[in-house]
Amino acid sequence: MGFDTSGLLPLSDALQGMLEQLACCCDSEQLPLPEALGRVLASDIASPLAVPPFDNSAMDGYAVRLEDLASGTPLIMAGKAFAGQPYQGEWPGGHCVRIMTGAPVPPGTDAVVMQEETQADGDRITFLAQPEPGQNIRRAGNDIGKGACVLPAGTRLTPREMPLLASLGVASVAVRRPLKVAIFSTGDELKPVGTPLAHGDIYDSNRYGVRAMLARMGCDCLDLGIIPDDPAQLRAAFIRADAEADVLITTGGVSVGEADFTKQLLDELGEIGFWKLAIKPGKPFAFGRLPHTWFFGLPGNPVSAMVTFDQLVQPALAKLSGQRFERPLQLQAIAAEPLKKSPGRLDFQRGIMSQGPNGLEVRSTGSQDSAVFSSLSRANCYIVLERERGRVAAGETVTVEPFGGLLL
Ligand code: AMP
Ligand code: MG
């Protein structure tokens, strides 16, 4: 992978380098529709039906043949068509049929005239307007043609897809099993929530962020807890993850001061690259593989861990789990205040965007230190500042990436 002269790896190169090596590793299984919520489609869904399946009325009114209206005389109602109860039998010339929304139009219908454009005197119906051919008729297959691809493989099923599939009569779908992801945090200073802190200790926050993002992605999580900076315990945790999971994600222990330790262990068990990414926050990052498991080593700083997961690990996990991944939306906004920035790295500053008098504007959440976790929770977007850009003056245009997907 090409390091540039700064020794820092651009984000796009890191992403491309990882994605080239990864392929979907989740088998498929057939599940009843309600159980498939949150799963990823293993194959395209072709519609077994035309939707709608028959020509039907878009209005409450009267089905007519245009030639019968030509004389302008009222028509006698020959019968009724309801949704689920079609008009049966002969439709004599010079007659109309009372029809309700969703009812199949009787064969030979040219148009449906809405009730409001008619006058009824018993069975004698007077038409106040001349309809266009096909007016108020929803044609069979107008929404979805039979055999058309309605959802491509890789679609994650949300509440929006469930009624669509049900409308096609799809009772079960081929979906991928969830990706199994082992996680642990490293560091002697880390304590789990619910326990007291000794001097020098901090709570392990990263694991809760990573777990939450994995849940959003529909992955199964094997949480191995906190592993102290102890070679024997780290080794045991790596070996367990390699035996039980598709992916291992750790946080901490990849920065310059600590990497040697992890590196030695990983060189022995698998193949790992330690990268210095040209992004801020989140410079140190490790990627590689154990014999059976892909490995992502996130930085320990909480904001760096979240941002590197969001920007790098998310697309990688999507590929491994067979999920289609779309790059997040980026918008242009006006900086409502100056933003600190030095050239050299692509910044993902935490911002608060809002609608100003001249369009979208954005402010900083304050300190952009990667240990200031509250900056992430107050933000609603990244302010993405190009690598070579320096300080931003108020009024300049900047790129913002609204939080969606994982961080919403
Ligand atoms: P490291 O990457 O292990 O050198 O850690 C960098 C910084 O992040 C240190 O201040 C750690 O205490 C902190 N840190 C590492 N892991 C976690 C964690 N799981 N939760 C909160 N802070 C962490
Ligand atoms: Mg550490």
Q: Which one of 193, 250, 251 would you pick to mutate in the ligand 1 pocket, going by the greatest count of ligand atoms within 8 A of its CB?
A: 251
pLDDT of the residue at 4? 61
Place of tokens 């590196």: 263
Q: Around Cβ 141, how many Cβ atoms within 10 Å? A: 17
Q: Is 105 in contact with 131 (CB distance < 8 Å)? A: no
Residue 369 has pLDDT above 80, yes or no: yes
- Whole-number Å distance, alpha carbon 258 to ligand 2 midpoint, is 7
**Tokens standing for 223?**
């949480």
My answer on whether omega of the bond before 52 falls inside 30° of 0, hence cis, is: yes
CA-nearest residue, atom 6 of ligand 1: 300
pLDDT category of residue 5 using cuts at 50, 70 and 90 = low
Distance from Cα 272 to the centre of ligand 1, integer Å: 20
Unique residue bearing structure tokens 């491994």: 320
- More confident of the two residues 32 and 259: 32
* Residue percentage of the chain with pLDDT more than 90: 86
The pLDDT of residue 113: 98
Instruction: Identify which of 264, 304, 261 has the alpha carbon closest to the alpha carbon of residue 285.
Output: 304
Instruction: Return the structure tokens found at 174.
Output: 């081929």
Reported confidence tier of residue 254, pLDDT bands at 50, 70, 90:
confident
Mean pLDDT, the chain, whole residue set: 94
Q: Model confidence over 237-250: pLDDT tens digits?
A: 999 999 999 999 99
How many CB atoms are closer than 10 A to CB 62?
27
Output the six-digit token pair for 297: 């080593």
| Structure confidence by residue, pLDDT tens digits, 206-223 | 999 999 999 999 999 999
In angstroms, the CA 376 to CA 271 distance is 33
Mean pLDDT of 51-68: 96
Distance from the alpha carbon of residue 64 to the mean position of ligand 1, in angstroms: 75
**Does residue 281 have a cis peptide bond before it, meaning omega lies within 30 degrees of 0?**
yes
Which residue type is seen at 252? G
Whether the predicted pLDDT of 123 surpasses 90: yes
Considering Cα of 33, then 36, then 38, then 44, what sign does the dihedral take? negative
- Taking each helix axis from N to C end, the angle separating 231-244 and 256-269, rounded to the nearest 10 degrees, works out to 50
Q: For the residues 251-279, what does the mean pLDDT come to?
A: 86
Token pair of 224, please?
Answer: 């191995």
- Range 170-192 average pLDDT: 97
Tell me the best of 206, 263, 306 to mutate to test the pocket of ligand 1, counting ligand atoms within 8 Å of each CB and taking the most. 206
3-state secondary structure of 247: strand
Question: At which residue do the structure tokens 């779908």 appear?
Answer: 173
pLDDT at 3 over 60: no
Residue 6 has pLDDT above 90, yes or no: no
Give tens-digit pLDDT for 372-382.
Answer: 878 889 999 99
Residue 2: pLDDT above 50?
Answer: no
352 Cα–ligand 1 center, Å: 26
Calculate mean pLDDT across residues 316-340. 96
Q: What is the mean pLDDT of residues 86-90?
A: 94
pLDDT at 1 > cutoff 60: no
Give the C-alpha distances (Å, rounded to integers) separating 218 from 153, 177, 293, 383.
16, 10, 18, 27
**Count of alpha carbons within 13 angstroms of residue 366, beta-carbon side:** 8
Ligand closest in space to the Cα of 250: 1
Beta carbon of 227 within 6 Å of any ligand 1 atom: no
| Pocket of ligand 1 contains residue 255 by CB under 6 Å | yes
Average pLDDT over residues 80-107: 96
Q: Angle at the Cα of 160 (from 158 to 166), degrees rounded to 5?
A: 100
* 366/372 Cα distance (integer angstroms): 9
What residue's CA is closest to ligand 1, atom 10?
301
234: enclosing H helix or E strand = helix 231-244
Q: Is the CB of 197 under 6 A from ligand 1?
A: no
Q: What are phi and psi of 237, to 5 degrees?
A: -70, -40
Q: Give the DSSP H or E segment for 175.
A: strand 172-176
Q: Are strands 118-121 and 45-46 parallel, antiparallel or unpaired?
A: unpaired
| CB distance 101 to 57 below 8 Å | yes
